[in-house]
Amino acid sequence: MIIVLRPDASKKQIDHIIERVKKLGLKPWVSKGAERTIIGVIGDEEVLRIQPLEVFPGVEKVMPILTPYKLVSRDFKKEDSRIEVGRGLVVGSEQIIVMAGPCSVENEKLLVEIAGRVKEAGATVLRGGAFKPRSSPYSFQGLGEEGLKYLARAKKETGLLIVTELMDTRDMALVEKYADIIQIGARNMQNFNLLKVVGRSKKPVLLKRGMSSTIKELLMSAEYILSEGNFNVMLCERGIRTFEDYTRFTLDISAVAAIKALSHLPVIVDPSHATGKWGLVASCAKAAVAAGCDGLLIEVHPNPEEALSDGAQSLLPENFKTLMQDLKKIARAAGRKI
Ligand code: PEP
Ligand code: MN
């Protein structure tokens, strides 16, 4: 349930309510909006029947949250969440954040080269997997810690922030040390132990939608992270399985609008994994910006033929540059900037 406080509620009154909620064995989460404060209450709401909170001074109304996800819902927080990623970069602001780079970190020289090219084109975050979730055990599995070190090197050279995937709870401390944004991949969207571990950190998390998951399931997974205390979560639409097999997945563009309506969390779109075809990436990226996404995740590789993973969907740096120019115009038309 959520407790909506009066605009003139004093700090003393708010603290008193929080204390009472805790005493009842419930978990209060305070959201301070521009006009008023809201307290989200998590736990067995039955106890509130005996102790009606409406009577407390400072309370305007008490409302149940009917969705199974609470902290991620728009009911809990009306304003869009803004996530500070570092170096002044805020996801969920007027600026659309572009995260670009290779699917996998392959070697240091190549990574630094790609980082330079995507930075020059206007990206602000470098993507690259050091731990790779591959469908086949015989495919390249990533360089592990060595790959993370190359990402750190590329960051030092270019000033780009880093987004990279965490696949195993045992690697949390390691990945946290190198990543500015921790990616939870589509295949791990419902790895609840992994969600809890990133939830106990304050690091921004990019949570990708499972390829066979509904929007509601994505929001429930995000709820795991927020309920552990980490509100720095961005949700990523990366295509879902449908009967269509021309594209690798089907980009659910309506998910951008739907998630924005249901949740306050920023939405990122990954047109690379959604389409699986580099020739379709630009159109889908443009559609995502027009639909109101807060960021894009795009795979770029200077030699896709030789890429160790996902070459077919990787843009050449020059094509990425052209796309960035085109996106600027669409962003402007949508009241945003890139
Ligand atoms: C990735 O972004 O590197 C990736 C593996 O994507 P997904 O989890 O969406 O398949
Ligand atoms: Mn990939």
Q: What is the CATH number of the domain that holds 214?
A: 3.20.20.70
**Range scoring the smallest mean pLDDT among 57-66, 192-201, 237-246:** 57-66
Is the confidence at residue 49, as pLDDT, over 90? no
Q: What is the pLDDT of residue 48?
A: 73
Q: Are 327 and 336 in contact (CB under 8 A)?
A: no
Domain count, the chain: 2
Q: Give the structural domain span for 55.
A: 2-63
Residue 289 lies in a domain: yes
Helices (H), 43-184: 47-50, 108-121, 145-158, 172-178
Query: Which of ligand 1's atoms lies nearest the C-alpha of 309?
Result: 3
Residue 261 lies in a domain: yes
Q: What is the pLDDT of residues 80-116, one digit of tens each?
A: 999 999 999 999 999 999 999 999 999 999 999 999 9
223 shares a domain with 322: yes
Contacts of 295 (CB under 8 A, 6+ apart): 91, 96, 97, 98, 99, 234, 266, 267, 268, 269
162 shares a domain with 50: no
Distance in Å, CA 142 to ligand 2 centroid: 11
Q: What is the pLDDT of residue 225?
A: 98
Q: Please list every protein residue whose CB sits less than 6 Å from any atom of ligand 1.
A: 103, 129, 133, 165, 185-187, 208, 238, 273
Task: Give the burial string for 60-77 (b: 16+ CB within 10 Å, else e).
Answer: eebeebebebbbbbbbbb
Query: Which of ligand 1's atoms lies nearest the C-alpha of 183?
Result: 2
From 141, 143, 165, give the residue whose CB has the most ligand 1 atoms within 8 Å, as the site to mutate: 165
CATH number of the domain residue 51 falls in: 3.30.70.1140
Contacts of 90 (CB under 8 A, 6+ apart): 82, 83, 84
Q: Judging by beta carbons within 10 Å of its beta carbon (0-12, 13-18, 19+), is residue 249 exposed, middle or buried?
A: buried
53 shares a domain with 163: no
Q: Are 119 and 157 in contact (CB under 8 A)?
A: no
Distance in Å, CA 119 to ligand 1 centroid: 21
Residue 75 lies in a domain: no
pTM of the model: 0.94
Q: What is the pLDDT of residue 213?
A: 98
Is the confidence at residue 66, as pLDDT, over 90? no
20 shares a domain with 151: no
Give the closest residue (by CA) to ligand 1 atom 4. Answer: 185
Give the closest residue (by CA) to ligand 1 atom 6. Answer: 185
Residue 326 lies in a domain: yes
For residue 190, the SS3 value is coil
164 shares a domain with 31: no
Query: Which of ligand 1's atoms lies nearest the C-alpha of 187?
Result: 8
Residue 27 lies in a domain: yes
Residue 26 lies in a domain: yes
Backbone CA torsion sign across 96, 149, 319, 117: positive
Give the closest residue (by CA) to ligand 1 atom 10. Answer: 186
User: Sorting pLDDT into bands at 50, 70 and 90, what band is 45?
Assistant: confident
Distance in Å, CA 8 to ligand 1 centroid: 46
Is the confidence at residue 273, as pLDDT, over 80? yes
Residue 169 lies in a domain: yes
59 shares a domain with 14: yes
Distance in Å, CA 26 to ligand 1 centroid: 36
Q: What is the pLDDT of residues 286-310, one digit of tens each?
A: 999 999 999 999 999 999 999 999 9
